[in-house]
Structure 1
Amino acid sequence: MEKLIINGGKALRGRVKISGAKNAVLPIIAAALLGQNVPSKLEEVPALDDVHTLSAVLEQLGVKAEFDADKNTLLVDSSQIASCEAPYDLVRKMRASFLIIGPLLARCGRAKISLPGGCAIGTRPIDLHLKGFEALGARIDIGHGYIEATAPEGLKGARIYLDFPSVGATENIMMAASMAEGTTIIENPAQEPEIIDLANYLNVMGARVRGAGTNVIKIEGVKSLTGKNYTIIPDRIEAGTYMVAAAMTKGDVYIENAISEHLKPVIAKLKEAGVTIEENIDGIRVVCDRRTKAVDIKTLPYPGFPTDMQAQFMALLTVSEGMGRVTETVFENRFMHVDELKRMGANIRIDGRTSMVEGVDRLHGCAVKATDLRAGAAMVLAGLVAEGETRVGYIHHIDRGYDNLVSKLVMLGADIRRADD
């Protein structure tokens, strides 16, 4: 099994370019199913396992999806859709496969998708997706490990209130409603930049989506959409991860492509920790020449502190001066990285949804594992500052969300490599 081998203690210096956003490109690939007659050419598509998996799902539907790794482009030709059923062997790899239901309902009037193994509806609220589809007039059948949605008479516009601003539910409902008859109003939607990016792509294709990024989204349904060329926004979580890496290693890194507007809570907390941040139109420079100070963070839906940066900030707090509190309010079970950080010598105590992190003078390299995507990033960050060698296992999680992580860190001066066990 492949691992990352890290020898810590090197300050990161130089420039790193941020790739297209994982959380923007996946719904946009799904939305490409709506494009008729003309293919969509997506640019700044990151070379991620999740992108390859979703492209494979589209190919199973009879759609052409061709990725050019050299140019970071994905050509999606959905003029013909041969099947409306996504197979279990692909869907089990990635929850984002569920995003194809909305486009298939809108385009074909039917969608059938296998549930990922062990998926408990409601934990990460798939139920909100289903309520939205039902409000638009779809019939939902759940059984024998799959969900089938049908709308033989087409979807009808509706007013939909989301109990929680779920990103996936907002995206799925937006895509379904884009070709529904009449007007759809989504109240209390997610407001992330990735929602705005999806709305922009839909509008380029001919949709009429207004209010993305606010607390009410209005969608006027149209009869058809046409494939178009579109460039994906930079990944704010990747940018935030490199910002924390620069701070932890007492480095000086210019992060090309980073959009300050998308990173306000991360920037604010790093400044509070004593890090120097210089923002301009082309990117963000992060400079740190001393030990950071402990801060408190509390994850919230956008524009609050992102849950996808929680693990990385906890890694920062393990070597900061003083005690910081990390409160997770968005997802359950998102402290699995705590035990791995403690193996490296971190001083962390969990009390319900809050972790108290007392900074230590140094971490010690050892064998750890990436329990999920962002936990994996936290392990890499900890390894960059730990004494000795850190071996990070289960790195397939990291490959799902970080484009060329090892080569980018090496260019910044890190001692990191991939190796087979």
Structure 2
Amino acid sequence: MSKTIAFFPEAAFGPALNSVGIAQAVQALGHKAVFLSDPGFVSVYEGYGFESHPVNLSEPMPPEQMAKFWEDFINGHIPNFRKSPIDQVDNYVKDCWTAIVDSAKWAQKDLPGVLARIKPDLICVDNVILFPAIKQYGKPWVRIISCSENEIEDPKIPPHLSGSGEKDYAGHQAFRDHFNTVIKPIHDDFNAFLGENGEEAYPIGQFFEASPYMNLLLYPEPVKFERENPLDPQQFQYLEGCVRKEKPYEVPTFETHNDKPLIYISFGSLGAGDTDLLKRLIQTIGNLPYRALVNVGDYKDQYENLPGNVIVDGWFPQPSVIPQVDAVIHHGGNNSFTECLYFGKPAIIMPYVWDGHDNATRVDETGHGYKMPRYDWTDAELAANLDACINNPAMKAKLAATSAHMQARNGPQKAAAILDELVTTGKFNG
């Protein structure tokens, strides 16, 4: 019997498009997938053919104004992108958590009414914060963890957002201590909100909990951490990435270097505001024996006199582009991170914020690519890393094995099967 499954991703393209991939697979099983959405993302889900219901996550404003707000937010923090993860806690991370807590408060005003109207049989939420209305609705709810798996903490693994190495235990503790000190006033405010809505307070540093029903981690098993407390497969399942279906992409003809390896460069829709860095990369690639497709977001008009081996555009259907390239330079967002692994493509990650730091460290320490500083690099270093990405036999073998593993498991179909069992029987039996 067809059931209604609601998806509520946070208002960012990574979580949004991961949920689209799962929703496509859910509908293939005969269920109805609907989206609960920040007003600015309603058109994204409708563009993929899904019914979408707006939920205000901030003071209501036109979608264009909301998009501009986040663009300005990111661009205003560009100077902080030069800082280490621990030094970003006092600025970018603190500002983000303030906004995230505010979003939970705003959502609580709309969510009960929206849920009563949609009447979902199952709710999937991909966010870093609890929405009490979802937990209290009375139907099973699933947490999707589309960012790094260290959102689910463990004493033995690096803390979320830290970018620490797996064995850097002193670094783990230093980051946790600093994060908890800086975040305490925001956390106290959130706990007061939880109390007002009949929920228990969370321990310092925690803003969400694991779902008792099921938690879906998009993280691929070949790069997962060794935990002190292994996750129970009855409650936690790794999805090996959730690569959505996109329209085909035909690589255009370049003015020069059409017989050379192809690089794809993208820092995501928001990271595209860092035009100085993208221009520097374009200039460097212009002098190397490669071709490059560069995602420049809404800033295409700022790029002139491009080298003949570089083509820029405001958007690319990334899951259709990555299979055709030889290497990717990106910011460490979870879609880019998992898509490169899924298609067996080496990555150079130049992180700037959030879990990009974690993914950059992980891609490097597991042999699937390189972590590079965002600004403090030389042309020679970039050239050497690109050469290794394309020609290193050990890296090629590692990526081929990871890709085969991930593609054999088909994350969206695996997720849909789990959700189907949950929504049909009320529990997951494995």
Q: Structure 2 length normalisation: TM-score? A: 0.28
Structure having the higher strand fraction is 1
Structure having the higher helix fraction is 2
